[in-house]
Every structure is written in structure tokens, then in C-alpha cells.
Amino acid sequence: MKNDGKMVDIIIQIAEMMKISALTAPKTKGMDDIEVKIVYDKEIKQLSEKMESIGKRDSINFFIRDADNIRNSVAVILIGAKKMQAGIKNCDFCDYPNCDENKKHNSFCTFNIIDAGIATGAAVETASKFHVDNRVMYSVARAANEINMFEDDVKCLTGIPISVTSKNIYFDRK
């Protein structure tokens, strides 16, 4: 199956729907702590090159394998959480006694991490509804973080490459 121009346009529309799903997913106390970017073409090339360099630098072969997957993807959805304290009394999730201490130590609120996970799940659910191949990849997120694709206060990234082929390129890999 070849991703012609029309097919690519449809996949990009689905990427936009994935973004909407992530942004509108339930979040702790309704906080607006999720950021989403969709990357294509040049940015995919930049991501894949960074993934490959991390793989070589740190001797992590799956980064190199994943870089090849990214090169064959139509788009990559990046989801991150902004550092925002939830202000929940006595939650004790972050190992600080309260949100003020968390913020003072420039730490991450655990609820931001949970929100990023829920947003990621919502995005991949949308992709699956349209039978678009996808996979949540730590390696993509690591590369995006190293090349600062988000502002400094956005961390806890996930990366979701998407593709439509007769065989899912993200599974049954070596």
C-alpha cells in the first residue's frame, strides 16, 4: 500500500483528531497542563537523526531501529505535560509535603504525569478508531526532549508515530 497524496492528507487529518483527543482528555482539576505538537517531514528527519545519534552515543540499538520507523511515518504526535502543581492537599504523590515545596524544588507534580498518560491513551484510541498504525515510543520522546521541541516547562513527553501500510511497521521488528 502506497501513501499517496490523498492518503497522506487523511492521515494528517487523523493526526489532528488525535491532537484534539489528547487536549480534551480528562485532566486533574481541569488543569490545562497538556501540550501537543504534530511533526512532519523536516521535523521527522530531525527527530530520526537525533534518535539515531542517541542510539549510537548511548549504545541503545532500539533507538536506531525506532529512527527507521520514524523515517517511514507520515507524522509523529508529541504529547507533553507542563509543570503545574495541582494544589491537592495531602496528596503525598511527589515526595514533597505540599505543592509549594514541589514548586520550590522545580519538581514535577505527579498529576501532570498522570494527565500526560491519559492524553496519550486518548490519542492512540483515536488512531485505532481509524485503523491507523501507531505506537507510543519513549525513544521519540527522548529525542524530542533533547532537541527542545517544547518549552522548558513541558516534560513527561510521549511520541506517537503514525502510518498506514499493509503491515504495521511498528510491530514485529528486529
Q: Residue 4 — pLDDT band, cuts 50, 70, 90?
A: confident
110-129 and 5-24 helices, crossing angle to 10°:
140
DSSP string, 79-112: EEEE------TT---SSSSSHHHHHHTT---HHH
Predicted TM-score of the model (pTM): 0.93
Provide the grid cell at 32. 490545562
Provide the grid cell at 62. 532500539
User: Residue 59: CB partners within 8 Å, gap ≥ 6?
Assistant: none
Average pLDDT of the chain, as a whole number: 93
Question: In this predicted model, what pLDDT tens digit does every residue of 110-158 receive, in sequence order?
Answer: 999 999 999 999 999 999 999 999 999 999 999 999 999 998 789 889 9
Domain ranges of the chain: 5-163
Q: Is the pLDDT of residue 2 over 60?
A: no
Report the CATH fold assignment for 5-163. Answer: NADH Oxidase (3.40.109)
What is the mean pLDDT of the segment spanning 32-56?
Answer: 97
Terminal CA-CA length for the chain: 22
